[in-house]
Amino acid sequence: MITPSFLDHLNEPQQQAVMASEPALMVLAGAGSGKTRVLTRRLARLLHQGEAGIGEILAVTFTNKAALEMRERVAALLNLDESNARRLWIGTFHGMGARLLRTHAEVLGFDANFTILDSSDQQRLIKRLSEQKEFIDPYWSPKRLASSISRWKDDGLGPDDLGQTRMKASRDLLRISEFYQSYQDELRRLNAMDFGDLLSNCLKLWDRAPEVLALYQNRFRHLLVDEYQDANKVQYDWMRRLAVGGALCVVGDDDQLIYSWRGARLDNILKFEEDFPDARVIRLEQNYRSSANILKASGGLIDHNVGRKGKTLWTTGEAGAPLEVYVAEDGEDEARHVTRQILRLVPDKGFHEMAVLVRTSSQTRLFEQAFHDQNVPYRVSGGLRFMDRAEIKDAVCYLRLAHSFRDDLAFERIINVPSRKLGPKALEEIQAAARGAGGSLLEGARLVLGQKGLGPAALVQLQKFVQLMDEAHALLEVAHPVEALDKLLEESGYREAVDLDERRNDMRENLRELRIFLSQVDDLAGFLERAALESDPPGTERRDDGVSRVVISTLHAAKGLEFPVVFLVGLEEGLLPHKMAVDEGGAAAVEEERRLTYVGMTRAKEKLFLSHARMRRMYQRLEPAIASRFLKEIPADTVKKRETVITARRGVGIPRPRRPFY
């Protein structure tokens, strides 16, 4: 029996997507076509109709936020209590990978409590390693090595597979592949995995232990994948292998693929039907978000892309207001103009109903300034994330080391924070001792205490540090982790160092917030896992101070959001499409920039403002800018003719504006 509520308020294709029983299903869901709705209803329906038990469906997303939302919505649809909701396998690719790997770590020779390195940990490790190995090459900077290795992992390439890349000289190839290998060795020695490993090590695990793979293949009768267009090679292989024996349903939109620089492959969508010959494809083309005008404008733009499946979004809604284009003198003028428009709209619209979307985060400064000047409340979406803040990482590293003495990376980070006069020299001493004994840095530190390689003052400090770790470790056995955190921050002098500095108000605030977060969890291992995998603690994103604020966001960070009023700014050659994309990526990269523009436009529900400037500060130099090619690709009849001609400011050689082409 079908409970009708699963199909309530769904259109025909949406209903089909919820009900479809094919072993492979691809839902091509256009922007604003009710994708999340379909996904959650489908999941709820499968459970409700008994097609799968609560632990037999695996749903993967790309962000923790999306996973959380899906879990909540499914739980609400089915009236699940908390313990049942928790049994749902809903999470990110990386979260699921970590879960699997912790369960079967020993197969790959890791401890179950391996540490997860974030990008900055990874970079620090690579830097240290390249210094150690005297791998010095102006081209292969640690930064480039780190990002290349990440990318190779995304593409499913190990140290021995670099021949498949477009690495130029074979001399490089050998050196780099050796370095890559030594990085992997080092990770193993540290009992650590980086983000890429969380996925690729799953594939290794399944190769090595087919019975483990079979276990999960049998368990999961249904596999659901959200934002499928953003899957990279490893993620694709991961889900494909897991889906054997069960049904696979992917939901995505080729027009919203904006992460190819992280390995996402358009091919996954274009070739789905080849890879799964019996696949059914359902298109969701009715848009419930934007006005007809906005839909026509964005559709006209995206039509210029060649590599796409092709969809035509439609709506029964009204035409709505035409798009407005503003030609600004420069970036400051553009920001002032946006501010004026916002203030003009504000009696009708709340600030929170409006958003400014930018290509690069450096553009946000201009708008922050203008908003500040006119007292427009705003919020910058993205920016520095909670878990990436120095004081939070420090605190987490104290906990990490107390939790696992083997965590050398945590040791390195905090051994001299706050300053204990244990600088590079002391660290070297400790490292040598650790290497000699084949142990961790903390063990090395214990050994150093019995030698006389360090001065007496340093030894006292080191002794205190080691003792603090031992005590905190013991405390973790018997008390709540929050008590250990308090002890660590107090007795290490960290708290004092922060308190002494008058300017550190935000630091204190952040540490307090971390403490609140920690007090709500019941096991430290789970907390550390989340700290590694989630860049914001739960609640941070949705925390609402009750103030209505304009959102300033990069285009990337805006995917999945919607606003009644959207300002899409900086539509200039070099910025959108971005110069680097045009120079390096060629036609494919321009298509991605076009998709990015499309994503921005389709965020708007009622009113879409576009703008570009005639002069733009680039690398701190004011340069003439020309209107983006994308503007010409937007159907002219969706755009309001400009009423006023902007006169050039006197002098300074600004070219007179040409007659606009729209």
Partner DNA sequence: GTAACTCCTATTTTT
Partner DNA sequence: TAGGAGTTAC
Residues that bind DNA (CB under 7 A): 62-65, 92, 94-95, 119, 127, 138, 141, 195, 227, 230, 258-259, 261-262, 264, 359-362, 382, 385, 419, 421, 423, 533-535, 554, 556-557, 578, 580-581, 584-585, 619-621
Give yes or no: 207 in active site. Answer: no
* Torsion sign (Cα): 611, 614, 619, 620: negative
Rounded least distance, CB 360 to DNA, Å: 4
CB 630 within 8 A of CB 597: yes
Smallest gap, in angstroms, from Cβ of residue 534 to DNA?
6
Shorter beta-carbon distance to DNA: residue 284 or 576: 576
Q: Based on CB atoms, which residue is closest to DNA, 34 or 263?
A: 263
Helices 170-189 and 119-132: crossing angle in degrees, nearest 10, is 110
CB 572 within 8 A of CB 616: yes
Residue 278 falls in the annotated catalytic set: no
Residues 6+ apart with CB under 8 A from 185: none
The Cα–Cα gap between 392 and 413 comes to 12
Tokens found for residue 443: 């063990």
Task: Tell me the β-bridge partners of 28.
Answer: 252, 283
- Cβ proximity to DNA: between 188 and 556 the closer is 556
Q: Which member of 35, 153, 400, 616 is catalytic?
A: 35
Shortest CB 533 distance to DNA, Å:
4
Active-site annotation holds for 131: no
Q: Looking at 42, 296, 603, 605, which residue is catalytic?
A: 603
* 208 closest CA partner among 97, 104, 58, 114: 104
Token readout for 112 is 């179950």
> What are the tokens at 397?
């590293």
Nearer to DNA, 300 or 585 (CB): 585
Choice among 61, 115, 123, 256 that is catalytic:
256
Closest CB 200 distance from DNA, rounded Å = 12
Cα torsion at 197, 200, 202, 203 (round to 10°)? -160
CB of 425 to DNA, least distance (A): 10
Residue tagged active-site, from 15, 16, 36, 165: 36
Task: Supply the minimum distance, in Å, between the C-beta of residue 78 and DNA.
Answer: 25
Q: Which CB sits closer to DNA, 235 or 293?
A: 235
* Sequence-ordered alpha helix ranges (H) in 479-611: 481-491, 494-500, 505-519, 524-533, 555-558, 579-580, 586-601
Name 3's Cβ contacts closer than 8 Å, sequence gap at least 6: 48
Phi (first) and psi of residue 425, to 5 degrees: -65, -45
Annotated catalytic residue 227: yes
14 labelled catalytic: no
Q: Which is nearer to DNA, 245 or 418 (CB)?
A: 418
Element at 24 (helix H, strand E): strand 24-29
Given 194, 197, 227, 394, the catalytic residue: 227
Annotated catalytic residue 461: no
Where do we find the tokens 């619209």? 349
So which residues are the catalytic ones? 35-36, 226-227, 256, 603
